[in-house]
Chains A and B, each alone.
Chain A
């Protein structure tokens, strides 16, 4: 179990605020940290990894104290059993894919584990390549494999998929899920993507203003207090066509482009690029399985 209860003063874009977060994540869970930029999500990950030091508090993993301000305990990152996947991957530019993974092995570790990891992540054909010759998705795969080479207890992912195109993103989501399960990891990841939270996480922590405002399984958390069977689709305005009475609005919902007819009043202040919520009035969906 991962227990975090920390306090740290941060200087965000909107001024100074205090990160004061309490999280409990069971062993084997995949937890997502969700919230606006600058809410302290990355800092929380860095605190868990030992890369940032809280002003006060406690970090405990599987009964082992990693940080305790009262007992003046602060394990360095080297002594914490973690794998950290950075937003920019942080692959070592001068080493091949294989050597990037091998770098992470402890001194007397079995080298065959590298072959296993390469195989597991589909990187075997790329093992001789340098990071700068790889695509974004491949680089992210290497970062993931490297983070696992030390056989960590906790896998920490800082927005690992945010810079990737949709297809690669979906593939890598499957991969993360598979590795998380096969290796029996506890995983904590920061993401901005609600579908990603639903697909990957058993538990989501919503961060706002430096504290955890809500947490629980994603359906429960995102369904809101106003759970009334109505759906709300976050959409982005792509185009606006004016007729006399009715207006045709083209919006992007997820990956789909929809045209909707709306009234004059509703489009008055809309501009292309605006974010809106679509609230379909009649909703009786038919389900079709996709495989």
Chain B
């Protein structure tokens, strides 16, 4: 019997794209939240963390409403940018970005906050810009936090179900990721196929987390904290 690998490949593709985008978006955001003293920061922190307690279906539902072509935002995106975010891979990416953002932002923010303030200040007094300081001093010293954020975002995107179902539906090759496929196969009593997807996800999650803990242990042994 041959198994359908497409949902799994789609899952990995979604997780990879989401994680890469989260690095680009989440790291600067975390840096700002770690160093800012503005009142906006508290609001930003709250918004970023919302997906942690919000049922995924709520987020998915509002995204679905917002991006539906009947609505202003959805119509605008379709007419001017030729972008459809409902029942499309791009929509899945956007939903995953929002849903996995706290898993990137929080560890990285904690990493920044764990560094002594004098480290960045020393760099400034040595004539280096904020950006130079970020890349050459701060980021190299929060590598464990970056790793944690990257892996958690990746793993969390793999495990996503509710948001994907709401905004993406179940279109083979487009939005039918592994978690959806499992649900679908169970519904049609096709347990063998469901089992295949489930087992691969189980093994994948275990391997990823095992790798993180192994690497983190090495980090901690090799170098005592600052």
Residue ranges of A at the interface with B (Cβ–Cβ < 8 Å) = 49-51, 76-78, 80, 82-84, 86-88, 90-94, 103-104, 106, 132, 146-147, 149-150
A51, A76, A93, A104: the one within 8 Å of B126 (CB): A104
Q: Which residues of A contact B125 (CB under 8 A)?
A: 49-51, 77-78, 80, 82-84, 147
- Do B141 and A93 have beta carbons less than 8 Å apart? yes
Query: How many contacts between A and B, using CB within 8 angstroms?
Result: 60
Q: Which residues of B contact A51 (CB under 8 A)?
A: 121, 124-125
- B128 interface residue (CB < 8 Å to A): yes
- Do B116 and A78 have beta carbons less than 8 Å apart? no
Closest residue to B129 on the A side, CB-wise? A78
- Do A77 and B124 have beta carbons less than 8 Å apart? yes
- Expressed in whole angstroms, the minimum distance between the Cβ of B57 and any Cβ of chain A is 43
New A-B contacts (6) at CB < 8 Å, excluding given A82-B125, A149-B126: A49-B125, A51-B125, A78-B124, A88-B116, A90-B118, A147-B125
- Expressed in whole angstroms, the minimum distance between the Cβ of A244 and any Cβ of chain B is 55
- Expressed in whole angstroms, the minimum distance between the Cβ of B149 and any Cβ of chain A is 18
Closest residue to A101 on the B side, CB-wise? B126
The contact size tier of chain B is 10 to 19
Closest residue to B128 on the A side, CB-wise? A78
Q: Give chain B interface residues in 132-154, CB to chain A under 8 Å.
A: 136-137, 140-141
Hey, what's the 0/1 contact readout for B103-124 against A, CB within 8 Å counting as 1?
0000000000000101101111
Given A92-B141, A132-B223, A132-B224, A150 and B127 contact (CB-CB distance below 8 Å): yes
B116, B121, B223, B224: the one within 8 Å of A77 (CB): B121
Given A90-B116, A93-B226, A106-B127, A84 and B122 contact (CB-CB distance below 8 Å): yes
Q: How far is the CA of A90 from the CA of B119 in the complex (A)?
A: 5
- Expressed in whole angstroms, the minimum distance between the Cβ of B116 and any Cβ of chain A is 6
- Do B137 and A76 have beta carbons less than 8 Å apart? no
Q: Which residues of B contact A106 (CB under 8 A)?
A: 127
- Do A76 and B118 have beta carbons less than 8 Å apart? no
Q: How far is the CA of A249 from the CA of B124 in the complex (A)?
A: 51
Q: How far is the CA of A82 from the CA of B124 in the complex (A)?
A: 10
Q: How far is the CA of A250 from the CA of B126 in the complex (A)?
A: 48
- Do A146 and B126 have beta carbons less than 8 Å apart? yes
